[in-house]
């Protein structure tokens, strides 16, 4: 082989090895990797977090002053990395650490998150400090544009001062500056010249597949603001915004879903139901109303059930959508059949709809009050139009306290029939564990059914309960896959206990294989010792067979499923008894 060829091959090998090492270095952490409990200042407090694997190395490098390591860790925490889930409070903390250590990009992202409430709270003054440093100390131009956005937030909305600052930010390439300026011109100033200027920002933004641009264009053509109303164009902008863009597109998907439910094509119609259901789950009250009325419109291809209609209407009403309150009220007046008529419930819902500005609800209130003045003078002990959680809290107090049991039980049953998962869980608990004077052990199976109903729609406690039940076969057939599915539901909703149990469940085959191999080894060692200690060995020796263990597969050293579950329950009970928490559920055997 020639010297040149050998050098070329060596160079290629080093390159490949370097690439492999780099990939291995940034490998997403798994449950087998070591972990570290640490904290970061999230703008309000020292926020505790758990890191694993390479993320520990990034954190150490960050504290040593390496801004790029802080930034890499922040970005990983924003999206989630391996077994470490997304955590926006930790992410904003490490973006701020990156900013301190000289990263202009860290300053800009920290400011955006704190300004827009990404971690669950807004800190506008701190946001401005981040980009002030990025612009004036680090000389990072995008931070100067972001600084203008923060300064504009302090100016009167829609003012010339605010518009000038946002125009400066937009010209500097800050997307939030362009978005905020367009929305201020379009929705706050509203005059023809302002809306024309806003459309110049919306259209190219939508073409670049930014959701805020498509939202502006959809609203313009939907309502005839700044352009001639055009339903077809509005529909297309809604579709593009929902399906093809990035960013906040909740309302776009609501509009797109609502249009799809008017389609004669079953596939489109059902997709529209799915979009609306998702938007309703994301707290868009309009979406809740649109999906609630699907069943009542009588489309034969609808998958939404009558119970789901009631569930979505209740949710929409709680989210401030007056039409949803009206719809649920009409159901309880018997307009759509299927439920027992409850006029006081309907009246309360109509009043709520009226308070939210739904004029048809106001008309119903006036008509019912004229026919029966007692609706205004005699109110139910538990307001049927109050948020479901509030109703259930009152009902539980009444039922378990023994005063007003019938009223409390009727409230829980009504919400259970509406498909409310918290009502399923509460009523299921009374039936499963028994409630003297109301439910005996003969209703235990009914309680289990309600637990599973609640688990299916994402109730965390119910999902954990059913996950454990199917895993161990407690009053249901053993089905470990089903158990993991329920535990995954709870884990997906951010429950750390469920996440720990799910990890343990996934590692159960490894634990079982290790135990089986250990038993095989111990049997082999036993037989060997017996042989060598017997006369058949035919010779003497000065050593004995070792009693060590052999494990040919990676071990899972974490606690078992039952240990995690029982430890959590025990610690919860101790916290409850010591005043650390006011909640200790009836499913906890230690309470």
For residue 486, count other CB atoms closer than 10 A to its CB: 25
Q: What angle do CA 285, 290, 292 make, to 5 degrees?
A: 90
For residue 186, count other CB atoms closer than 10 A to its CB: 23
Distances (CA, A) of 315 to 98, 190, 288, 355: 41, 32, 7, 16
Is residue 591 within 8 A of residue 576, CB to CB? The reply is yes
Q: Rg for the chain (alpha carbons), in Å? A: 31
State whether residue 144 is helix, strand or coil. helix
> pTM for the full model?
0.75
Predicted pLDDT of residue 528 = 57
Is residue 320 within 8 A of residue 355, CB to CB? The reply is no
Predicted pLDDT of residue 567 = 39
Chain mean position to CA 294 = 25
Distances (CA, A) of 513 to 293, 502, 516, 552: 53, 18, 5, 10
Is residue 127 within 8 A of residue 150, CB to CB? The reply is yes
| Residue 452, both tokens | 């599973």
| Cα 577 from Cα 591, distance rounded (Å) | 9
For residue 99, count other CB atoms closer than 10 A to its CB: 30
| Cα 568 from Cα 333, distance rounded (Å) | 46
| Cα 552 from Cα 554, distance rounded (Å) | 7
Per-position pLDDT tens, the chain of length 591:
444 444 444 444 444 444 443 445 689 998 888 999 999 999 999 999 999 999 999 999 999 999 999 999 999 999 999 888 889 999 999 999 999 999 999 999 999 999 999 999 999 999 999 999 999 999 998 999 899 888 988 888 888 998 999 999 999 989 999 999 999 999 999 999 999 999 999 999 999 999 999 999 999 999 999 999 999 999 999 999 999 988 888 999 999 999 999 999 999 999 999 999 999 988 999 999 999 999 988 888 899 999 999 999 999 999 999 999 999 999 999 988 788 999 999 999 999 999 999 999 999 999 999 999 999 888 899 999 999 999 999 999 999 988 889 999 999 999 999 999 999 999 999 999 998 888 888 899 999 999 999 999 899 999 999 999 999 998 999 999 999 999 999 988 888 888 888 888 888 777 777 777 777 767 766 765 665 555 544 444 333 333 333 333 333 334 444 444 333 443 343 233 334 455 544 334 334
**DSSP-assigned letters across all residues of 6-60:** HHHHHHHHHHHHHHHHHHHHTPPP-TTS-EEEEEEE-SSSEEEEEEETHHHHHHH
Q: What angle do CA 148, 150, 154 make, to 5 degrees?
A: 110
Q: 52 forms bridges with which residues in the sheet?
A: 35
| Cα 132 from Cα 96, distance rounded (Å) | 12
For residue 235, count other CB atoms closer than 10 A to its CB: 18
Predicted pLDDT of residue 591 = 41
Is residue 59 within 8 A of residue 71, CB to CB? The reply is no
On the CB side of 360, how many CA atoms lie within 13 Å of its CA? 10
Distances (CA, A) of 176 to 184, 201, 313, 422, 563: 12, 12, 34, 39, 48
Is residue 105 within 8 A of residue 67, CB to CB? The reply is no
Predicted pLDDT of residue 62 = 97
| Cα 408 from Cα 403, distance rounded (Å) | 9
């Amino acid at each position: 082989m020639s010297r040149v060829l050998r050098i070329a091959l060596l160079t290629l090998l080093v390159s490949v090895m370097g690439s492999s090492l780099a990939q291995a270095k940034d490998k997403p952490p798994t449950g087998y990797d070591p972990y570290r409990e640490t904290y970061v200042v999230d703008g309000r407090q020292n926020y505790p977090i758990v890191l694993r694997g390479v993320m520990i190395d990034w954190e150490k490098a960050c504290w040593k002053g390496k801004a790029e390591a802080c930034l890499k860790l922040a970005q990983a925490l924003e999206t989630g990395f391996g077994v470490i889930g997304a955590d926006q409070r930790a992410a904003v903390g490490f973006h701020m650490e990156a900013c301190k250590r000289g990263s202009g990009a860290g300053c800009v992202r920290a400011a955006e998150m704190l300004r827009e409430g990404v971690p669950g709270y807004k800190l506008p003054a701190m946001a401005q400090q981040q980009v002030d440093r990025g612009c004036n100390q680090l000389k990072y131009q995008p931070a100067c544009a972001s600084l203008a956005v923060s300064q504009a937030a302090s100016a009167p909305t829609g003012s010339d001062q605010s518009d000038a600052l946002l125009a400066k930010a937009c010209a500097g390439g800050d997307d939030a500056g362009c978005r905020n300026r367009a929305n201020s011109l379009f929705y706050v100033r509203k005059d023809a010249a302002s809306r024309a200027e806003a459309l110049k920002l919306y259209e190219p933004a939508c073409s670049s597949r930014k959701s805020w641009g498509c939202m502006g264009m959809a609203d313009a053509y939907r309502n005839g603001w700044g352009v001639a109303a055009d339903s077809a164009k509005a529909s297309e902008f809604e579709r593009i915004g929902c399906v093809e863009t990035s960013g906040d597109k909740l309302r776009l998907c609501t509009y797109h879903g609502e249009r799809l439910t008017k389609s004669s094509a079953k596939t489109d119609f059902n997709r529209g139901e799915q979009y609306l259901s998702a938007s309703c789950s994301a707290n868009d009250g309009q979406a809740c109303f649109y999906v609630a009325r699907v069943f009542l419109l009588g489309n034969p291809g609808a998958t939404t059930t009558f119970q789901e209609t009631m569930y979505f209407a209740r949710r929409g009403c709680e989210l401030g959508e007056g039409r949803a309150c009206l719809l649920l009220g009409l159901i309880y007046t018997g307009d759509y059949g299927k439920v027992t008529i409850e006029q006081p419930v309907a009246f309360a819902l109509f009043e709520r709809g009226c308070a939210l500005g739904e004029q048809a609800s106001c008309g119903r209130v006036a008509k019912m009050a004229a026919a029966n003045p007692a609706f205004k003078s005699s109110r139910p002990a538990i307001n049927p139009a109050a948020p479901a959680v509030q109703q259930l809290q009152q009902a539980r107090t009444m039922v378990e306290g023994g005063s007003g049991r019938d009223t409390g039980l009727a409230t829980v049953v009504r919400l259970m029939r509406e498909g409310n998962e918290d009502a399923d869980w509460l009523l299921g608990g009374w039936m499963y564990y028994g409630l003297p004077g109301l439910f005996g052990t003969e209703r235990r199976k009914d309680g289990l059914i309600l637990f599973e109903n609640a688990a299916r729609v994402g109730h965390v406690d119910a999902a954990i309960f059913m996950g454990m039940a199917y895993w161990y076969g407690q009053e249901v057939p053993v089905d470990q896959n089903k158990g993991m599915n329920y535990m995954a539901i709870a884990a997906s909703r951010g429950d750390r206990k469920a996440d720990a149990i799910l990890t343990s469940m996934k590692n159960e085959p490894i634990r079982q294989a290790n135990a089986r191999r250990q038993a095989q080894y111990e049997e082999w060692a036993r037989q060997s010792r017996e042989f060598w200690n017997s006369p058949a060995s035919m010779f003497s020796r000065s050593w004995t067979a070792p009693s060590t263990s052999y494990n040919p597969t990676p071990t899972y050293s974490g606690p078992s499923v039952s240990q995690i579950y029982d430890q959590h329950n025990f610690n919860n009970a101790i916290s409850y008894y010591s005043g650390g928490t006011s909640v200790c559920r009836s499913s906890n055997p230690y309470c």
